[in-house]
Amino acid sequence: MPDTTDADGLTVGQVSARVGVTVRALHHWDEIGLARPSLRTAAGYRLYTAGDLERLHRIVVYRELGLGLDRIGAVLDDPAADVPGALRAQREQVTERIDRLQQLGAGLDRMIDAHQCGLLLTAEQQAAMFGPRWNPDWPAQARQRYGDTKQWQQYAERSASRGPEEWQAVADEVAELDRALGDAMDTGVEPGSPEAHRLVERHREVFASYFPLTRQMQVCLARRYEADPGFAAHYDGIRTGLAAWFRRIVDADARAHGIDPDTATWQ
């Protein structure tokens, strides 16, 4: 490689600024033979010529298109290389990546909406699935009350992954549980009985469609069912007094597991 003066070429730092790549990258490309500067100064410093700079610009373009350095080297140095074919193959990969990113974007939009709204269903869909006693304002009220909790995050993440069919399955489970609770109260199932314990456990399992429910949390929830006019009206619409009866069987189950219902907290 001939000696030259600084005026005959560009230094690594100058090329880095002009081409828009780091000095480290230029050194790496030099080491692997992808883009070696053609000149040296009398002091031994490497300099890039106009031809070197043109090669670097092509490398940057191909790299931005997603070609690996080995593939770029083959495209630049092999006279028989099928450049259009390589670019078409890369175009297919880019198209697939765009499709995946679009799907990811749609999923993120659903996740954002779920965190903000709870249910990704219209009021009409909610009424059709959950019945006439369902209040479409409940998800918004729940977000106001629990929006900064881990449980709301879990609920939102599950909601984002569900469509109408999945929610219909949840609604069917909830409706069947409501019927079972009403029938059990009608037949005189006593709090603390094996049948009552099974119903309490079933409630926790069904409720897990929204988020995991501990026994302490279930106590708090059952008391809210009884105290909140909206929830009480829902359960009393199934059977008069059902909200209070459900609270009693939950309290009895909690005591059977060593939990004092009067001191239970949302945890």
pLDDT in tens, 209-222: 888 999 999 999 99
**Quick one: average pLDDT of 40-50?**
89
* Alpha carbon distance 231, 243 (integer Å): 8
The predicted structure's pLDDT at residue 5: 41
Phi, psi angles (nearest 5°) of residue 27: -65, -40
pLDDT of residue 15: 95
User: What pLDDT, on a 0 to 100 scale, did the predictor assign at position 1?
Assistant: 44
Task: Pick the closest to residue 114 from 99, 106, 213 (CA basis).
Answer: 106
**Phi, psi at 257, each rounded to 5°:** -110, 20
Using the predicted structure, report yes or no on whether residue 44 has a pLDDT greater than 90.
no
Asked if the model's pLDDT at residue 3 lies above 60, the reply is: no
Of 88, 158, 87, 78, nearest to 118 (Cα)?
158
* Percentage of the chain lying above the pLDDT 70 cut: 97
Tell me, what amino acid is at 2? P
* Whole-number Å distance between alpha carbons of 265 and 267: 6
Mean pLDDT, the chain, rounded, equals 88
Q: Does position 6 have pLDDT exceeding 70, yes or no?
A: no
With 60 as the cut, is the pLDDT of residue 120 above it? yes
What average pLDDT does range 113-134 have in this prediction? 81
At 261, is the pLDDT very low, low, confident or very high (cuts 50, 70, 90)?
very high
Query: Which is higher by pLDDT, 83 or 190?
Result: 190
- In the chain, the N- to C-terminal Cα span, in Å, equals 74
The predicted structure's pLDDT at residue 264: 94
Segment 241-253 mean pLDDT: 97
Kindly tell me if the per-residue pLDDT of 89 is higher than 80.
Answer: yes
What's the pTM? Answer: 0.62
Per-residue pLDDT reduced to its tens digit, 162-181: 888 998 999 899 899 999 99
